[in-house]
Amino acid sequence: MSHSDLLNQLADIIPGTSLAEAREIREAATSHAQGSYEALFGETSASGLTLVERLHLARRVAEWHDDARLADHYTRRLAGKPASERFSTLLNHAERLSFQPVQAGSQDVNALTQAGFSEEEVVTLSQIIGFVAFQSRLLRGLRLIGGQPVDGEQVRIPAAGEWHRQPLTASGKSAPVAFTQAELNWEPWIAALPYAEYGPEQQETLKRFGHQDSDYFRLLGRNLPVLEQRTLTDKGIFYTPGGLPRAERELAATVASKVNGCIYCASVHARKASQLSKHNEAIERLLAIEPGGTLSDGQSPRWQAEINFSTALSSTPASANAQQIQALRELGLSELELLDLVQSTAFFAWANRLMLTLGEPFN
């Protein structure tokens, strides 16, 4: 892995500042966010999609998320190379996944495979869209913490999002129609690669993370270098000591999932937030908010401020602003806690876009 850090450059993080030190404390999340970028956009990344296609996708997703500097980075890497003839097919899918991932369905994935895209290419496509959604929100959060200017200073806190309410999955299984803390299952719309079809080294990688029996992870394993870096990023954000209480990191994940309408992700992380915080009623209140409702209603002042910030950061494009960061500081959040809140929220812009657009939950 290279020692350059794209996020540091694009967020203008000044060495020696408390934000730079916080990112060093969260070294695993910092290095594997960079590692994820390199796995997706390295010259030798094997994914089926050409590097030019991947860079064109990333540039367009960055533009949709209103991050001019991130879009300019991908533009410069393209060096004027034109998109492929099949690129428009990818772009239609990318737009849906960027703005309304909950509207994706099995028919969208089928359309890509029928157009000649391989399972590996479909997985890489979703990873790119999800990763740039993560990158853009992380950059906005880093700039806000560091006191750097961001686009669109007018805060806009979106309402709770729509979610799937059809009672059956594409394959006819019983589907959840409301947010819940119950344990759910998930099935992919394209085949997960059987464990036996992975090579010995790949099997070891899956086993190391406990992914070998999961359809979701064996599907993402169709681009294993990206899955490995993404998993290590996840662990660096959610399973590190100090900083924001783990319950509040899980709260941020749940909030992002409510904005995006991801019942599966919310079930996992609401359950963890409830167990760790011992505030089951507060979590149930959050899960019960209907589309169009205010997600922070009825919460404690600290949770209200965190929920409002995570909600604004989860909108497309993100709209969290400096006043929200100031409000969190006044409630006592340290630089490291602010970084943890940003990273936990931003990561679920990525996670939700994979879960919602490659498969669906069932009871």
Distance CA(164)–CA(103), nearest Å, equals 8
Residue type, 154: Q
Identify the residue whose tokens are 């089951």: 280
How many structural domains comprise the chain? 1
The reported pLDDT for the residue numbered 2 is 40
Per-residue confidence in pLDDT tens, the chain, 363 aa: 344 899 999 999 999 999 999 999 999 999 999 999 999 999 877 678 999 999 999 999 999 999 999 999 999 999 999 998 999 999 999 999 999 999 999 999 999 999 999 999 999 999 999 999 999 999 999 999 999 999 876 677 888 999 999 999 999 999 999 999 999 999 999 999 999 999 999 999 999 999 999 999 999 999 999 999 999 999 999 999 999 999 999 999 999 999 999 999 999 999 999 999 999 999 999 999 999 999 999 999 999 999 999 999 999 999 999 999 999 999 999 999 999 999 999 999 999 999 999 999 999
The reported pLDDT for the residue numbered 1 is 34
Distance CA(256)–CA(260), nearest Å, equals 6
Domain that holds residue 349: 1-362
The reported pLDDT for the residue numbered 156 is 77
The reported pLDDT for the residue numbered 152 is 72
Structure tokens, 25:
């404390």
Give the pTM: 0.97
Specify the DSSP element, H or E, that contains 284: helix 280-288
Give how far Cα 137 sits from Cα of 49, 57, 222, 309, 317, Å. Answer: 25, 17, 26, 12, 8
Q: Count Cβ atoms within 10 A of the Cβ of residue 77 and give its class: 0-12 exposed, 13-18 middle, 19 or more buried.
A: middle
Q: Count Cβ atoms within 10 A of the Cβ of residue 177 and give its class: 0-12 exposed, 13-18 middle, 19 or more buried.
A: middle
